[in-house]
Amino acid sequence: MEENKQKSIHDILPLDLIHIILLRIPVKHLGRLRCVSKLWHSLISDPDFAESHLHLSLAPTHACIYRKVSTESYLVHLEEVFNGDNYQVKEVSFPFKKQPPSKFRVMGSCRGFVLLHQEPHFFVVWNPLTGFSKRVSYSWLNILHRSKGRYFYFPGNAILYGFGYDATRDDYLVVVAWKDSNCQLLDCLSLRTNSWINLDAALPKRFGFCLWESEGLFLNGSIHWLPYSLKHYSEGLLIFDLKERSFSKMSLPEQLIMGGPATFVILGGCLALYFQDYVEGNTHIWVMKEYRVHSSWTLYVIPCLEFEPLCLSNGSDIIALDSILAGPLKFAKYNIRGELLQHFTRPAHLPHNIYKYGSYLVYTESLLLLPSDSKQG
């Protein structure tokens, strides 16, 4: 007598194949798939799986947080807004126990984590996808003892700052460069140990911090800063390697120096800069396709002014904030030939000026935990 047993997916597919399939599923769906079985929950919750998924996912999920005021913020999944008319922009709450404080800033993102700063001396590391957050209280006393000043205000007194990850030490770092009297000082806060590390020895002699924009972008194990004005573009990008704890520079495309003040972004895992050509009515986007290979700087021209690239979709299509066209249009997708593919209209339930008068942050979603938390049962 044959037994009519319904086979589970684990009886049909080997574990290694299930693991490979899960690695290719968009990260936003994995939370629901944890509920399929104890085995899937164990696989997806493994910190090593989260790390692998960040690097191997075929379709990284780009999210954008728009903050209009302290209590009014919205989350947009940039690839999804073009999938149909039913997409809903979601209101999002920052990870504060009480109402968001009036004085807090979004400082940057790294590997799915968003870094917030709350006065007077708190960082909050937040993963919006998982809901995980960690409040880090810090003290400036250990860095003020070698200065002549009695007070340091972050970020106001920081000449340069950046948020990044040191893979060799499995540690997230907040790097801060500042000036006291005639001395230039460099420190970084380890989020693993909640302690400051003196990096003054990494500073080259006669080093002019003030030549670069204050906020840096993390990519390939380093934090990068763009010169703040055209006359300093010949200095190139400033780079701080978090593993080697050393500075270097990278040349910008020569044509950019003759263009206009640029904005610094990460597109498709590549360094990119863009600026508006008000004479031709275009936006010029320079992308370094191969990291640190100067000849790989490639120019794309988009026939739209006030075009702010946010991320790449399908590996090459550019999703951008478009605030120049009439009506409620806010997002647009162009291919690299400069052809408009799609646009996204603001949902009726949102304030008409949410994008125009707010600030925003684009980040790549992940399932990662902070190193000190990933070892907890």
313-365 confidence digits (pLDDT tens): 877 899 998 765 444 547 889 998 888 888 776 655 555 555 555 678 999 99
The H or E element spanning position 147 is none
Alpha carbon distance 3, 18 (integer Å): 26
Quick one: pLDDT at residue 169?
A: 94
Average pLDDT of the chain, as a whole number: 81
Q: CA-based Rg of the chain, rounded to a whole angstrom?
A: 22
| Side-chain half-sphere CA neighbours of 277 within 13 A | 17
Alpha helices in 188-333 (DSSP H): 254-257
**What's the confidence (pLDDT) of residue 172?**
96
Pick the range with the lowest mean pLDDT from 136-140, 275-279, 286-290, 314-318: 136-140
Order of strands, sheet of 62-69, starting from the edge strand that comes earlier in the sequence? 90-91, 72-77, 62-69, 359-364
Secondary structure (3-state) at 18:
helix
Determine contact, residues 187/173, Cβ cutoff 8 Å: no
DSSP 66-82: EEEETTEEEEEETTGGG
**Residue showing tokens 């209590």:** 71
CA distances from 281 to 242, 325, 352 (A): 39, 13, 25
User: Residue 325's pLDDT is what?
Assistant: 46
At residue 45, the pLDDT reads 86
pLDDT in tens, 135-192: 888 776 666 666 655 566 676 778 889 999 999 999 999 999 887 766 778 889 999 8
**Residue 92 pLDDT exceeds 50:** yes
Contact 159, 177 (CB under 8 A): yes
CA distance 294 to 326: 38
